[in-house]
Amino acid sequence: MTAAADAPPTDGLAATARTRDRLLPVIARLLLAAASGAILFLSFAPRPLWWLAPLAFTGLGLVLHGRKFFAAAGYGAAFGLTFFLLHIRWIQDFLGEDFGSAPWLGLSAVLATYIALACALMTLVARLPAAPVWMAAVFLLQEYARSHWPANGFPWGRIGFSQPEGAYIPLASVGGAPLVGFAVIVTGLGLAALLIHLREHGNTPQRAMITPIAATLLPALAGLALWPTIGTEPQTGTRTVAVVQGNAPNSGLGLLGQRDTIRANHLAQSKRLADDIHAGTVPTPDLVVWPETATDIRGDDLAIDAAVDALGVPSLIGALYQPGDSTLADNAVIAWQPGEGQGAHYAKQELVPFAEYVPMRAIASWFSPFVGNTKDMRWGTEPAVLDIAGTTVGTPICYEVAYDYPARDAVDAGAQLLVLPTNNAWYGEGEMTYQQLAMARVRAVEHGRAVVVAATSGVSAIIQPDGTVTKDTGMFTAASLVADVPLREQVTLSDRLGAWTEYTPVGVAAGAIVIGWVLRRRASAGTGH
């Protein structure tokens, strides 16, 4: 045997080593992307870890540095999928027993696709001056897109909703939830840019460090500077508001057969509250609020009449309301007066896909045998506002708190106070109700209004205009809250800007993407590639 034959296959070993050297950085970046998605999840309620959100984008910024379009999409998918699998785990708690993991996994994958595309597009703007600003705008572009399409979108998990407290929340009064999210992302990407510069160039040239340092520090400093401007004092008096939380069975989809139980629970808790009022153990409220769909209403309702008469004060009754001239029902809030009965009502404008209406019904029927046995609810068309108890009250319902326009339109119509009737009993004891409560806290600061959350099974809460929760209830228990809340008429800059708080980052992102694409094409043409 020759010496050559005894030699080790060095070419094969070298190829293996090269493959390993190529794969290890890819694996490391995938792990960092997934870890960053998990960190982002941890920044959301019920944990008060708002400061983790910028760090999640620091990790994402490190992963995306120097990556090309499709590679960035892959890392963005790892980031987004990890985040959404954890963030909307409550969908599995809700539907898993009857439908398995497909709804949870499928929706998480669809939502992660938006983030994957955003990360790919971020590569087009990553070399522009002040890159963290343009990259953050691109991320908000995907938030806008997935909040509107398809089927009216799914706005859960917007970055601004991770910040009901902390340094960034005052920015909500200036630019709403979009500006809060923008500030968080700019901070994280700015820190990533600073770390990359220090790794590659040290602390020289110092002029090149100005932009990443500014991006890291200025958003939080701007938020802190705005704290004194958040108004909490009454401007047109106060109202004593009571919440009736009657409770509901913790049975997931089994609630479909528990309508009578939920109604009976709320009638019973309303009676307990009335007894406490007459006994003087709680203050007499000016207004009582029932949760979302706490009862069915089809025409006159003597039991609700009696309950409101016993309370002796005007009430807002959350109901599945079917007018006599319609075959469809509204998810409604009804103004109910003692001695007079029901009056005006607000009908929910943003219905929950596959729960309150079925989009693409013909296609959906291929996957679910229940579709043919359900009816869509009616879409509301009027602003979420009712005049009751001498007060103009904004009344967005449940899921609508995730959208920017319902509360904004209510304030524009004169709302001095916001109430949020909701029914989260479907989702068990998971994080969904706390995530929604965080959204309500952001809306309080955004609009400078107190928010009263009335939930069938918790968490009900009293939120001050600065986002502070002053009273709340537990989960899956019958309870009432009674508290004074300030009435306010001052309009925040966010309300004055209106929908431009959403449109501005979309326009900025679109412009930056076009400029980045043109510059990249010119650079490629100049190098002959």
* Residues that are catalytic: 292, 348, 398
310 and 271 Cβ atoms separated by less than 8 Å: yes
293 and 318 Cβ atoms separated by less than 8 Å: yes
Continuous segment of H or E residues that includes residue 243? strand 238-245
Composition of the chain by helix, strand, coil, percent to 5: 55, 15, 30
Residues 6 or more apart in contact with residue 125 via CB below 8 angstroms: 131, 134, 135, 138, 512, 513, 515, 516
CA 69 to chain centre: 28
Quote the tokens at residue 282: 């709680």
How far apart are alpha carbons 511 and 508 in whole angstroms? 5
Write the secondary structure of 452-521 as one string of H (helix), E (strand) and C (coil): EEEECCCCCEEECCCCCEEEECCCCCCEEEEEEEECCCCCCHHHHHCCHHHHHHHHHHHHHHHHHHHHHH
Phi and psi torsions of 207, nearest 5° = -60, -35
Quote the tokens at residue 271: 């009676």
Nearest to 212 by CA among 228, 227, 231, 192: 192
How far apart are alpha carbons 484 and 141 in whole angstroms? 39
Residue with tokens 């929760």: 469
Residues 6 or more apart in contact with residue 70 via CB below 8 angstroms: 120
Quote the tokens at residue 252: 């997931």
269 and 245 Cβ atoms separated by less than 8 Å: yes
Q: Is 431 helix (H, G, I), strand (E, B) or coil?
A: coil
Angle ∠(501,348,181) on CA atoms, nearest 5? 25
Residue type, 171: L
How far apart are alpha carbons 452 and 434 in whole angstroms? 14
Kindly tell me the burial class for residue 13, based on how many C-beta atoms sit within 10 Å of its own C-beta (0-12, 13-18, 19 or more).
Answer: exposed
Q: Is 273 helix (H, G, I), strand (E, B) or coil?
A: helix
Quote the tokens at residue 353: 């896909």
How far apart are alpha carbons 434 and 48 in whole angstroms? 11
114 and 147 Cβ atoms separated by less than 8 Å: no
Residues 6 or more apart in contact with residue 211 via CB below 8 angstroms: 129, 130, 132, 190, 193
